[in-house]
Each structure stands twice: as structure tokens, then as C-alpha cells.
A = this chain, B = another copy of it.
Amino acid sequence: MDDPVLLTGAGGRVGQAILRHTGADFEWRLLDREPLPDRKLPEGVDDTDVCTADITDGDAVREAMTGCRAVIHLAGDPRPEAPWDSVLRNNIDGTQTMFAAAVETGVEKFAFASSNHAVGAYETDTRKPELYRPDDEFRLDGAELPRPSNLYGVSKAAGESIGRYYHDHHGVSVVNVRIGNLTEGHPPIDYERGQAMWLSYPDCAHLFKRCLLAEYDYEIVYGISDNDRRYYSIDRAKDVLGYAPQDNSAEWDGDERTA
């Protein structure tokens, strides 16, 4: 794969997980709203591959995307409690700007960082806390309608619909990754929900690597490790993308690995 991959939100947690664990596997263009310090760049990436811009700036986005075959779009306001005006601009309008630029510049694959918050309201009072436990059989598989936890989740569901439109009408391959709870090193401690939707850094990087290498049309997959506790199915990610997670929150006792 010679053509570069554009990674937006490269300085954020998901972007850094990807770059740290699969940074050497691709040629990158990195985009972030804030200047990226050298420590956030993978080896071989220098200033000429880095663009400091806002994703709602169509001209800047098009310039950064030109020549890229694929996009991993992570940029946006990442706060579950973000106010409407911010998610409207950064997450909804920003994502539409990204897709429009992708069509104009001939991008073939577009991986979108959706979120567990697009479906958080399936965790109803009657299902909690049982659905966070290994013997509970409730599963979400990506075919269900959104049930956002918050306005941030509304914005992620909107991003998924935007991608659906650009896939159906412009032929872009689109995968939406509903990212769980990404933490470095070990799963969240004393937090059943976080353990159920844990995504380790290596599994995160591997999953997005598969998004760049696999063939697909339009997909919604859950981005979690192979957790015993899960209530998100990872079957679709395995079947379509070839996702093969290495981690499982059950193998940890607090911050100690037990398996």
C-alpha cells in the first residue's frame, strides 16, 4: 500500500493508540486541530505529512486528503457531555465535510470513529447491571437503530447516516466503528460497564488496520476487545474485517494481568 492514509484527530487517544501500534504499517498524513508535538508522531513521519486544521475547513481537508486512498476519521469533540453547538459543528458538520472531500478527492475507504454513545440508551434500568456480566445474553450487533446516550451520541449516529448516504450514492466503502472504552495498559478497574466495552490499545490499532486492509461496502461494527463480559457482538468485525482481538478484560484483576 503506497498511497497514504489520512488520519484525523491524530493527536487524540484513539489516534495515538493507532499510531503507536500500527504506525509503521502505513504511510500517513496526520491532521489535527492542534499542532502535533514530535512525541506524537510515528517514526518516518515529519512535518510535511502533518496538517494543522479544523475539519470544518473544506479547503484544508481537501488539500490534506489529496492523494490518499483511505481515511480514518477520528476528529471531533470527544466529550460525551459536549454541548449541542459543539457536536453540531465539529462532529456532524465536520464529518459531512470529510465525506464530501473524500468523494471529491477519490478516497476509496473511509473508517469513521462512531461510539458506544450512539446506542448507550439500550442500557436500560431493567437490563442493568446484568447486561455487563458474562452470563447475560443480551447483544447489540450493529443492525439496531441508534439509541443515543447524549447529544454526542446523536452526533455519532448522524455521522453513521452521513456515511450511509456517501456509500450508497458515491460508492465509498464505509465502516463505522462504535468504539467502546479505550484505556491504555489495563481495563477500567471496578467498573463493570467499562470492562464490558473495554478496547485495548493493541486491539484498537489492529481493528483500524483491518478497516484499511479488508474489503467491504457499508458496515457498522463494535470496537471492543474479546471481553467475556461483552454485550456488543464482535462477530461482524471478525467476519467482515478479519478482526482478531488479543485482549479480554476478564484476564485482568484490577491492574494485574492474570492470564
Residues on A facing B (Cβ under 8 Å): 84, 88, 92-93, 96, 100, 121, 143, 145-151, 153-154, 157-158, 161-162, 164-165, 168-169, 220
Contacts and interface: CB of A to CB of B under 8 A. Distances in A.
A92 B96 contact: no
B88 A164 contact: no
A145 B164 contact: yes
A148 B121 contact: no
Contact of A165 (B92, B100, B150, B162): B150
Given A147-B168, A165-B121, A88 B93 contact: yes
Given A164-B145, A165-B153, A158 B121 contact: no
Contacts of A121: 164-165, 168-169
A183 B161 CA distance: 28
Nearest to A164: B147
The 9 closest A-B pairs by CB, nearest first: A121-B168, A158-B158, A157-B161, A148-B165, A146-B161, A154-B161, A154-B165, A147-B164, A154-B162
Contacts of A161: 146, 148, 154, 157-158, 161
Given A147-B164, A153-B165, A158-B161, 7 more contacts: A84-B93, A92-B158, A121-B169, A145-B145, A147-B168, A157-B158, A158-B158
Nearest to A151: B165
Contacts of A145: 143, 145, 164, 220
A14 to B, nearest CB: 22
A204 B225 CA distance: 48
Contact of A146 (B143, B151, B164, B169): B164
Contacts of A96: 84, 88, 151, 154
A205 to B, nearest CB: 28
Given A93-B88, A121-B169, A164 B148 contact: yes
